[in-house]
Structure 1
Amino acid sequence: MDFTRIPHPSPTPDATREQLIADPGFGTVFTDHMVVIDYDDAKGGWQTPVIGPREAIALDPAASVLHYAQEIFEGMKAFAHAEGGLALFRPEANAARFNASARRMAMPEIPEALFLAAVRALVTADAAWLPPIAGGSLYIRPFMFASEAFLGVRPAKQYKFIVIISAAGNYFKKGVNPVKIWVAQDYVRAAPGGTGAAKTGGNYAASLVPQAQATAQGCDQVVFLDAIEHKWVEELGGMNLFFVRADGSVITPPLTGTILPGITRDSLIAMLREEGLDVREEAYSIDQWRAEAESGLLLETMACGTAAVVTPVGTVASPDGEFHIGAGGIGQMTAKMRERLVDIQHGRAPDPHGWVMRV
């Protein structure tokens, strides 16, 4: 696929880049380049992709995204591979989910081949930004927004699809340790018929106030309950949940339209079943969570997502008090699933599902 390539006039010096990626944290250190592909309905749709310097976006103040929130994004990673070079994990699934989000937000779908070509071109251009640290990766952010300048409630006719990359370390500052989560009290993330299954910025904006409440309570994350009965566990602000039980079963909340269909979630379902566990997608209440944790039936709770991979949940807090899960450490199945998944991503273990794509 042909890209228009714009040379970078002043790329980051090697010494500066090496200093930045030595301890990049998460989401604050960005690479030199970006991909931009314009969509214009009047010109027949998607235009020639451009890869060039990462720079500010010129945007009309009447751009539709600023007023009517037509915006979607994805999160994916590139990893150092055991055989050398870099690899992506299930990028076709990201492309498919991106288009599912586009359909829900009345935006044009991008051909999956074009999505993948844009990601691969940018990773290739900025491969030197991969942090040389344990857990280091290139966090890839494809996104699309309505750029047409108009005021009126209708789908826009012009869009920008952009891909940027952030050099990334661990998502949680304290690394892979049990997190403490707060049960949202007065807020929900999504309601039936809403945009909960789309990866759109508004869903995350809605989580910021309850996340601030969680932080004020000394918690790392917030967990949302359903919008109707306010009793069924749905997901964290940015991660799906699994409940590992002593009877050999694992429960994860079902995808009923209010929960983001996580790619890590889908991968874990397959991997847990390969372990011989009975994985069930069914409703799980907050009262059941507490009762099974206190009785010992619940052994582990795993939170999962692209950014944090697989993370143990150690404590759940609410105005009714706290309850703890397992012995308070990283559970055996959580540790095993995280290690298996990371080893597949880095090419250190067999990939029976064909999930890894070499760049």
Structure 2
Amino acid sequence: MTIDWANLGFDYIKTPFRYLSIWKDGQWDQGKLTEDNTLHINEGSAALHYGQQCFEGLKAYRCKDGSINLFRVDQNAKRMNRSAKQLLMPEVPEEKFIQAVEEVVRANSEFVPPYGSGATLYIRPLLIGIGEGIGVQPAPEYLFTVFCMPVGAYFKGGLTPTNFVVSEYDRAAPQGTGAIKVGGNYAASLYPGKLAKERHFSDCIYLDPATHTKIEEVGSANFFGITKDNRFVTPLSPSILPSITKYSLLYLAEHHLGMEAVEEDVYLDSLDKFTEAGACGTAAVISPIGGIQVGDDFHVFYSETEVGPVTQKLYDTLTKIQLGDIEAPAGWIRNIKN
């Protein structure tokens, strides 16, 4: 397969190998690599009817010396297990999760894009309830799989601010599944996301479901803002997915940029305190927010066309760590030699 690395999108591409493991009778099997990209499951599987499933997303990065970096993969393993626990699914042992990811990356190493291309290898671990069943109850068996594909740079031509609109819809219920990575949260966002795009916004801003006064998430990403007194702020709520990128930026803002970095309430009527704002997550790393439509009012942060200086520094620092260009904090990087 010939790949035009410079023109990759964020689309499914079949790579040669994926990992597959089955939980049955109280234990996981050894797991194996397979070339079959079709899952064969019972029609009564709980994942299909009752949404008993969770997933993760992470990336592998080609370094200048040709080796491959995995970024904070242990945190993805921990987050998947938090999701599994709440959905009454068996946890995937952390060492099994990491081994599966590494096996898939090694087996598909020719699909890890070249250093400097702006592209990466996107990795999708998935855990689903399978087996014969039809009642509302945990599945009798579970399937854990990891597959991957090369994806292009999220930003074509560099970081570009985009605009968002506050949604009247809720992403997740109070005390619900907002803090775990389950497909139902994303299914619920499709319709309000469509409405936002029809109005020529990038996506929705979701508010806290209890009071609709505080920002929680930006589409499928986490919100952050830079205040006038140079603080890095992200929303605090039990309904927000704990983004690994967000917690990495909190650390870098404090330890690399010397800022105060906090999680706290971000009230919709207090946007004036922010000089910059953005969304962060695995796919985009950082997406600068130009402005937010709040009812009839449109609030602009740093600029609708230019990236703020703090946002740029955070993006540069994080991506250089991921690519191995600067030293990472202890435990953040697992390097795979070809």
> TM-score, structure 1 length as denominator?
0.89
> Does 2:178 match 1:196?
yes
Q: Percentage identity across aligned positions?
A: 36
| Shift in CA distance, 357/124, structure 1 to aligned 2, threshold 3 Å | same
* Paired residues of 1:252 and 1:280 also in contact (CA < 8 A): yes
Residue equivalent to 2:252: 271
**Is the alpha carbon distance of 1:152 and 1:174 closer, same or farther for their aligned partners in structure 2, counting shifts above 3 Å?**
farther
Count of matched residue pairs: 333
CA contact (8 A) 1:25 1:173 kept: no
Quick check: 2:6–2:118 contact (8 Å CA) kept in 1?
A: no
Structure 1 distance, partners of 2:36, 2:307, is 39
> In the superposition, relative to structure 1, how do residues 54 and 333 fare at CA in structure 2: closer, same or farther (>3 Å)?
farther
Q: Which of 136, 139, 143 does residue 119 from structure 2 map onto?
A: 136
Deviation sequence 1:44-81 (CA, Å, 0-9, x none): 41012110104211122211111111010000000001
Verify: 1:323 aligned to 2:307, yes or no: no
Residue 174 (structure 1) shift: 6.4
Asked whether the 8 Å contact 2:120–2:153 carries over to 1, the reply is: no
Offset from partner CA, 1:266-290 (integer Å, 9 cap, x none): 101111112221122110111111x
1:146 is the counterpart of 2:129: yes
Paired amino acid for 1:31: T
Q: Which residue of 2 aligns with 1:84?
A: 66
Secondary structure at the aligned position of 2:278 is classed as strand
From 91, 96, 99, give the equivalent of 2:78.
Answer: 96
Mapped to 2, the partners of 1:201 and 1:83 lie a distance apart of: 37
The unaligned stretches of length 5 or more in structure 2 are none
Cα distance in structure 2, aligned partners of 1:217 and 1:195: 28
RMSD of equivalent CA atoms: 1.5
Does the Cα contact within 8 Å between 2:62 and 2:113 map onto a contact in 1?
no
Q: If the length of structure 2 is used for normalisation, what is the TM-score?
A: 0.95
Secondary structure, aligned partner of 2:3: helix
Gaps of at least 5 residues in structure 1 are 1-16
Cα 1:142/1:306, change in 2 over 3 Å = same
Pick from 313, 318, 327: which aligns with 1:341?
318
Question: What is the one-letter code of the residue matched to 2:299?
Answer: F
Q: CA offsets per residue over residues 273-317 of structure 1, 9 Å max, x none?
A: 12221122110111111xx1xxxx421002110110012110112
* SS in structure 2 at match of 1:146: strand
Structure 2 residue 148 is matched with structure 1 residue 165: yes
Equivalent pair of 1:30/1:167 in contact (CA under 8 Å): no
Q: 1:184 to 1:174 in 2, by over 3 A?
A: farther
